């Protein structure tokens, strides 16, 4: 496969995943994500609580049933998110366009990595793709968790969590610094695992769909959501991860699979009925693209502690 074909496949998956998520948001919109309220340009605390299992008893917050607070902000948020995405595409295109494929070819030519030695290990070639997806998703889990634990990494990752709305375009709201810092780890994983080019593409496609759908402002039917959450990260599980409360924010780090969180004790339950307050305390709504870029040097903004019992 050529670099051009790789880029076409990756771009096609991106577009299809975005369209699918937008369609689900239209058909099954979520009504419980609460944007930050009562914060001025210099920030402030909001007294509303996040509920991981459902809205607080008797709480309406002045909303009509089914209305999501902060929807107006969501209409402008997508422009900032799209700008950040376009900026990142240019930077990564210059630094490392298609380098995952180049690294994969390099490792294969030198028989480096686990899957390039499948015959020696007695592993059938058809197992290579699921092993690749599992291995790369685990690396993504470890990296994501490190971004929350290490202050230097959090300075960049907080850009993603600074969105006071939870919608499809939040999936592409990242600081270019985080993406550049992740490159060496991801390329090292390709070498260590011996990921083939078809494996790289399979993972990129699944990752794109999972990333967009889990950021979708979507309510899934309970009969789909409950069994799905046993294996995969659902929108409700990831919505909890975008809570402004630290106990909820520091959970559910998975992108494709939820069992990494279960295995390493970072899983937190959540359903579509949950009412989650989105964003980071101390940050104003409606940050501009320029403010996003400068956020890592502006300071560290963490989730707030809650008096609610630990879930």
Tens of pLDDT along 95-125? 987 889 999 999 999 999 999 887 556 666 6
Other residues' Cβ atoms within 10 Å of the Cβ of residue 47: 6
Q: Who contacts 244 (Cβ-Cβ below 8 Å, separation ≥6)? A: 36, 46, 50, 277, 278, 279, 280, 281, 303, 304
The residue written with tokens 């009509």 in the block is 64
pLDDT, tens digit, 9 for 90 and up, residues 236-254? 999 999 999 999 999 999 9
CA atoms within 13 A on the CB side of 93: 9
Lowest mean pLDDT among 48-57, 85-94, 286-295: 48-57
List the beta bridge partners of residue 174: none
CA distance 241 to 68: 18
Block residue for tokens 């006071």: 164
Nearest to 294 by CA among 199, 183, 177: 177
Pair of tokens at residue 137: 């998703």
Higher pLDDT: 78 or 45? It is 78
Q: Note the pLDDT of residue 305.
A: 75
Burial (0-12, 13-18, 19+ Cβ within 10 Å), 7: middle
pLDDT at 76: 67
- Helices and strands in the chain: count of H runs, count of E runs: 13, 2
Cα 163 to Cα 1, 215, 249, distances in angstroms: 37, 11, 13
Question: Taking the CB of residue 306, how many other CB atoms lie within 10 A of it?
Answer: 17
Name the nearest CA neighbour of 162 among 27, 292, 266, 73. 292
Model pLDDT, residue 122: 62
pLDDT value of position 189 = 98
169-182 pLDDT, tens per residue?
Answer: 999 999 999 999 99
Q: What pLDDT does residue 120 have? A: 58
pLDDT of 309 reads 42
- 4-16 average pLDDT score: 87
Residue 304 pLDDT class (50, 70, 90 cuts): confident
User: So what's the pLDDT on residue 77?
Assistant: 87
Structure tokens at 165: 């709305």
How confident is the model at residue 67, as a pLDDT?
Answer: 29
Candidate from 71-75, 182-186, 292-296 with smallest mean pLDDT: 71-75
pLDDT tens-digit readout, 16-71: 999 999 999 999 998 755 544 333 333 333 333 434 544 333 333 333 333 233 34
What radius of gyration do the chain's Cα atoms show? Answer: 20
Q: What is the pLDDT of residues 144-154, one digit of tens each?
A: 999 999 999 99
Other CB atoms within a 10 A radius of the CB of residue 1 amount to 15
Note whether 212 and 189 are within 8 A (CB): no
Can you give the pLDDT at residue 236?
A: 97
CB-count exposure of residue 310 (10 Å: 0-12, 13-18, 19+):
exposed
Q: What does the pLDDT read at residue 179?
A: 97
pLDDT, one tens digit per residue, over 199-248 is 999 999 999 999 999 999 999 999 999 999 999 999 999 999 999 999 99
- Given a contact cutoff of 8 angstroms between Cβ atoms, the answer to whether 1 and 193 are in contact is no
Q: Contact 273/53 with Cβ under 8 angstroms?
A: yes
């Amino acid at each position: 496969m050529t670099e051009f074909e790789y880029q076409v496949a990756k771009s096609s998956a991106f577009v299809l995943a975005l369209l699918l998520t937008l369609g689900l948001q239209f058909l099954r919109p979520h009504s419980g994500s609460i944007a930050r309220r009562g914060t001025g340009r210099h920030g402030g605390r909001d007294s509303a609580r996040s509920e991981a299992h459902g809205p607080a008893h008797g709480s309406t917050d002045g909303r009509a049933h089914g209305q999501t607070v902060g929807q107006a902000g969501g209409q402008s948020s997508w422009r900032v998110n799209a700008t950040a995405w376009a900026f990142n595409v240019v930077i990564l295109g210059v630094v490392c366009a298609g380098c995952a494929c180049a690294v994969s070819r390099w490792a294969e030519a030198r028989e480096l990595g686990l899957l390039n030695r499948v015959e020696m290990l007695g592993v059938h070639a058809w197992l290579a793709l699921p092993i690749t997806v599992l291995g790369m998703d685990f690396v993504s889990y470890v990296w994501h968790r490190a971004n929350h634990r290490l202050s230097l990494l959090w300075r960049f990752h907080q850009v993603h969590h600074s969105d006071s709305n939870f919608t499809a375009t939040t999936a592409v709201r990242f600081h270019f610094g985080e993406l550049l810092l992740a490159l060496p780890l991801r390329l090292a994983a390709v070498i260590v695992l011996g990921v083939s080019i078809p494996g790289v593409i399979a993972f990129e496609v699944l990752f794109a769909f999972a990333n967009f759908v889990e950021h979708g402002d979507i309510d899934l039917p309970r009969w789909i959501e409950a069994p799905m959450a046993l294996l995969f990260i659902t929108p409700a599980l990831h919505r909890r991860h975008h809570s402004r409360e630290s106990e909820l924010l520091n959970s559910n780090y998975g992108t494709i699979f939820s069992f990494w969180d279960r295995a390493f004790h970072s899983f937190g339950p959540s359903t579509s009925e949950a009412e989650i307050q989105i964003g980071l305390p101390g940050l104003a709504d409606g940050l501009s693209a320029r403010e996003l870029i400068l956020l890592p040097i502006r300071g560290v903004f963490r989730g707030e502690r809650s008096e609610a019992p630990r879930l």
